[in-house]
Chain A
Amino acid sequence: MATGIYLDFEKPVIELEKRIDEMREFASDENLELTREIRLLEHKLKKLRQDTFSQLTRWQRIQLARHPMRPCADEYIELIIDDYIALHGDRGFADDKAMIGGLGRIDDKPVLILGQQKGRTTKQKLLHNFGMCHPEGYRKAMRLMNLADRFGRPVVILIDTPGAFPGIEAEERGQAEAIAQNIRDMAALSVPVVCLIIGEGASGGALGVGIGDRVLMLENSWYSVISPEGCAAILWKDHPTPVQKAPEAAEALRPTAQDLKEFGIIDEILPEPLGGAHRNPEEQAKTIKRALLTHLGELSALPPAELQQRRHRKYREIGHFAE
Chain B
Amino acid sequence: MEWFRKKKEPLVRQTKKEIPDGLWTKCKSCGEVIYGRELEQRLWVCPACGYHFRIRYNQYIELLLDDGKLEEFDASLTSRDPLNFKDRISYTERIRKSQAKTGLKDAIVCGIGRIGGRTISFGVMDFAFVGGSMGSVVGEKVARAIERSLERKIPLVLVCCSGGARMQEGIFSLMQMAKTGVLLSELKAERIPYIAVLTNPTTAGVTASYASLGDVIIAEPHAQLGFAGPRVIRQTIGQELPEGFQSSEFFLEHGFLDAVCPRRDLRHTVSLLIEYLCGPTSGVHETLKAPAPES
- Interface residue ranges, A against B (CB under 8 Å): 164-168, 170-177, 179-181, 183-185, 187-188, 203-204, 207-208, 210-211, 223-226, 230-231, 234-235, 252-255, 259-260, 263, 265, 311-312, 315-316, 318-323
**7 A-B Cβ contacts within 8 A?**
A166-B232, A180-B209, A184-B185, A188-B188, A224-B170, A319-B140, A320-B82
Contact A180 B212 (CB under 8 A): yes
Point out the residues of chain B lying under 8 angstroms from A312, CB to CB: 182-183, 185-186
Contact A321 B140 (CB under 8 A): yes
CA distance A165 to B88 in the complex (A): 30
Contact B182 A167 (CB under 8 A): no
Q: Is B242 an interface residue (CB 8 A)?
A: yes
Q: Which of A173, A211, A223, A318 has the most CB of B within 10 A?
A: A318
Point out the residues of chain B lying under 8 angstroms from A171, CB to CB: 226-228, 233, 245-246, 250
Point out the residues of chain B lying under 8 angstroms from A210, CB to CB: 178
Point out the residues of chain A lying under 8 angstroms from B209, CB to CB: 179-180, 183
Point out the residues of chain B lying under 8 angstroms from A183, CB to CB: 177-178, 181-182, 208-209
Q: Is B35 an interface residue (CB 8 A)?
A: no
Point out the residues of chain B lying under 8 angstroms from A320, CB to CB: 79-80, 82, 136, 169, 172
CA distance A98 to B204 in the complex (A): 20
Leading 7 A-B pairs by shortest Cβ distance: A166-B228, A183-B181, A176-B207, A180-B212, A319-B136, A176-B227, A320-B82
Q: Is B113 an interface residue (CB 8 A)?
A: no
Contact B208 A234 (CB under 8 A): no
Q: Is B5 an interface residue (CB 8 A)?
A: no
CA distance A184 to B233 in the complex (A): 26
Which residue of the partner chain, among B78, B83, B211, contacts A253 with CB atoms under 8 Å? Answer: B83
Least Cβ distance of A60 to chain B in Å?
19
Point out the residues of chain B lying under 8 angstroms from A319, CB to CB: 136-137, 139-140, 172, 175-176, 179
- Interface residue ranges, B against A (CB under 8 Å): 74, 76-80, 82-83, 85-88, 136-137, 139-140, 143, 165-167, 169-179, 181-186, 188-189, 204-205, 207-213, 226-229, 232-233, 236-237, 241-242, 245-246, 250, 254-256
Contact B181 A253 (CB under 8 A): no
Contact B208 A175 (CB under 8 A): yes
CA distance A196 to B204 in the complex (A): 24
Point out the residues of chain A lying under 8 angstroms from B184, CB to CB: 184
Least Cβ distance of B54 to chain A in Å?
20
Contact B237 A167 (CB under 8 A): yes
Least Cβ distance of A259 to chain B in Å?
8
CA distance A211 to B208 in the complex (A): 14
Point out the residues of chain B lying under 8 angstroms from A223, CB to CB: 171
Least Cβ distance of A318 to chain B in Å?
4
Closest to B176 in A: A319
CA distance A166 to B239 in the complex (A): 12
Contact B226 A316 (CB under 8 A): no
Point out the residues of chain B lying under 8 angstroms from A179, CB to CB: 208-209, 227
Given contacts A225-B165, A234-B167, A253-B83, contact A318 B254 (CB under 8 A): no
Point out the residues of chain A lying under 8 angstroms from B189, CB to CB: 188
Point out the residues of chain A lying under 8 angstroms from B246, CB to CB: 171
Contact A265 B185 (CB under 8 A): no
Can you add 6 more A-B contacts, CB < 8 Å, to A188-B189, A315-B175? A167-B237, A176-B211, A183-B182, A315-B178, A320-B82, A323-B77
